[in-house]
Amino acid sequence: MSLTQALAREPGLGELPADPQLPQLALLLDAAAMRSLFEAELQGSGRGRALQLRGAALEKVSYRVGHHCTALYRLELELPGSAPHSQWCSVRHVPPAELSRRHEAALRHGAEDRFAREPVARWDAPSMLVWSFPSDPALQQLPEVIDPESVRRALREHAAQLGLEPGVELGALRCEPIKHMPGKRSVLRFEVALLRGSQPSGRLCFFSKSYRDARSRGIYRALAVLSAELCRAGARTQVPRPLLHLDRLHTFWQEEWPGQALSRLHGSADFAARLPLAATALAELHALRGEGLGPAHYVERTAPDAAEDAAGIACMAPPLAARARAVARRLAQLESGLRAGARFRAVPIHGAFRASQLLERDGRMAVIDLDAAALGDPHFDVAEFRASLLFQAFRRETPLAQLELWGSGFRSHYEREAARALDDARLAWLEAAFLLEKLYLARKNLELRVIPHGGAILDLCESRLAAAGRA
């Protein structure tokens, strides 16, 4: 179904913003129409005779009013006689008057890229620029990250560190795209067959995470610390062990922890049954020392960030402007009192603790994506989890009252496991800030199911702030 059809037929879907600078916004988000453009590009490049496009799925959107809108598509491609494989394409719609200038700038950037293999494509009629993975102006190392010979070389050089036994040879290597955030981060899964002579001897599976700068080293160290401390503590929770850091490529490898993402169960009885496990996982993380972790400075930016989120909402949704700014002002007014009354010990916090960052297998949980791990306020993680839970009322059909109950149960279980009573006012204040942030991101990412619920989301923000003021 095209986007136009979906908007007409699906109740609860919002309308795309009218943006005269970006006249092809609807086309960019219409997967069926975009598939036709991708097929035309394949044919025009001469690759369409052999390479067949089997599907095009929209994965992520980032919108900046009047400036650009970027859509990440995952293409399913197939060569005759070969298994289908996935390919990311990042498509940026820009104002038609800006297309030539931005295309020239992108080409200049690519010319300076020591790894680049493919220039950015220019689609004149829809005024779009297209980068095919691994081309990414801000992640210039990606072609080398996925190059089979480069991967094999790293495997051989670091065989002992990776736990490969002497005499084991490397067989077939497979790379699977997992998650790509254009300009920020890319996550891949590698599977390498291991051989002794000509006989299979198992396989090595790991994830590769690439970043735009050297912050990858700090994330790698934090993962190593938390993974080891959980192991020494005999905790039920795990952080998958980091295996290797590739300094020059701002990339690290991390062991695979097979399990099901808790977010896949959202809204079901199975999800509710696993919330105590999630609370235990957070309590065990907070019980660690976090040796060498730095302070979570982002916690102190909660109120200033909320003001920026409100400004963004006002730009994209003028009817919500006054209420969004009022929420941000109230957050700032309450902050000093809450800070003065704060009584907590800084603990290792996740920084983005929600169901999508938890894997479950056989009654155990693993915590992933600890990019923001630092020493900070335990309320921060609990509030993020609860706010993320409540926000599902606007993405799915789970009743808000049910989610409120689940959130209360999560908090109660966490407090028992952590032997720590949480402050009602601080928790409500943080939840209001996180809900405002999620509303901003839903507008920025053009989440059409969420957009119509802006008023209801601000209702939640206001009720949380009222609770924070009373406590």
What is the tens place of the pLDDT at every residue in 177-220? 999 999 999 999 999 999 998 899 999 999 999 999 999 999 99
Are 327 and 362 part of one and the same domain?
yes
Task: Decide if 87 contacts 75 (C-beta within 8 A).
Answer: yes
Place of tokens 């990858």: 216
Residue 199 one-letter amino acid: Q
Domain co-membership, 101 together with 184: no
How much is the pLDDT for 7?
39
Question: What is the length of the chain?
Answer: 471
Lowest mean pLDDT among 34-38, 79-83, 170-174, 346-350: 79-83
Last residue of a domain, one of 255, 284, 308: 255
What distance in Å separates the CA atoms of residue 247 and residue 231, rounded to the nearest whole number?
Answer: 26
Q: Are residues 308 and 419 in the same domain?
A: yes
State whether 68 and 40 are in the same domain.
yes
Residues 446 and 363 in one domain: yes
- Band of residue 393 on the pLDDT scale cut at 50, 70, 90: very high
128 & 209 share domain: no
Host domain of residue 87: 3-135
Bigger pLDDT: 197 or 360?
A: 360
Question: Quick check: 316 pLDDT over 50?
Answer: yes
**One domain, residues 380 and 445:** yes
The model's pLDDT over 102-111, given as tens digits with 9 standing for 90+, comes to 999 988 875 4
Across the chain, mean pLDDT equals 92
Distance CA 89, CA 81 (A): 23
pLDDT(115) > 80: no
Average pLDDT over residues 118-123: 82
Q: What's the pLDDT at 46?
A: 64
Binning pLDDT at 50, 70 and 90, where does residue 14 land?
low
Concatenating the DSSP letter of every residue in 287-323 gives TS--TTPPB-GGGGGHHHHHHHHHHHHHHH-GGGHHH
pLDDT of 116 > 70? The answer is: no
Q: Which of 135, 159, 180 is the last residue of a domain?
A: 135
Reply yes or no on whether the pLDDT at 272 is more than 50: yes
Token output for 17:
């913003």
| Identity of the residue numbered 155 | L
pLDDT for residue 81? 80
pLDDT digits (tens, 9 = 90+) for 26-43: 999 999 999 999 998 888
127 with 153, same domain: the answer is no
Whether 47 shows a pLDDT value over 90: the answer reads no
Pair (221, 266) in one structural domain:
no
For 223, list phi and psi in degrees, rounded to 5.
-60, -45
Burial 377-412 (b: 16+ CB within 10 A, else e): bbbbbbbbbbbbbbbbbbeeebeeeebeebbeebbe
Q: State residue 111's pLDDT score.
A: 44
* pLDDT category of residue 6 using cuts at 50, 70 and 90: very low
Boundary residue ending a domain (203, 225, 255): 255
Residue 87 and residue 52 in one domain? yes
Other C-beta atoms within 10 Å of 92: how many?
19
pLDDT beyond 60 at 3? no
Give the tokens for residue 103. 């295309």
CA gap 447, 220 in Å, rounded: 32
Q: Of the candidates 139, 157, 368, which has an alpha carbon nearest to the alpha carbon of residue 244?
A: 157
pLDDT of residue 114: 38
The alpha carbon of 197 is separated from its chain's Cα centroid by a whole number of angstroms, namely 41
Residues 30 and 48 in one domain: yes
Instruction: Provide the phi-psi class of 446: left if phi over 0, else alpha when psi is between -120 and 50, else beta.
Output: left
Q: Cis (ω within 30 of 0) for the bond into 95?
A: no
pLDDT at 83 over 90: no
Binned at pLDDT 50, 70 and 90, residue 341 comes out as low
Cα distance between residue 432 and residue 331, in whole Å: 8
The Cα-based distances of 195 to 163, 201, 344, 455 in angstroms read 14, 5, 53, 59
Whole-prediction pTM: 0.93
Are 374 and 443 found together in one domain? yes
Q: Provide the pLDDT for residue 118.
A: 53
Total number of domains in the chain: 3
Residue 156 to residues 27, 193, 203, 427: CA-CA distances in angstroms?
47, 13, 15, 49
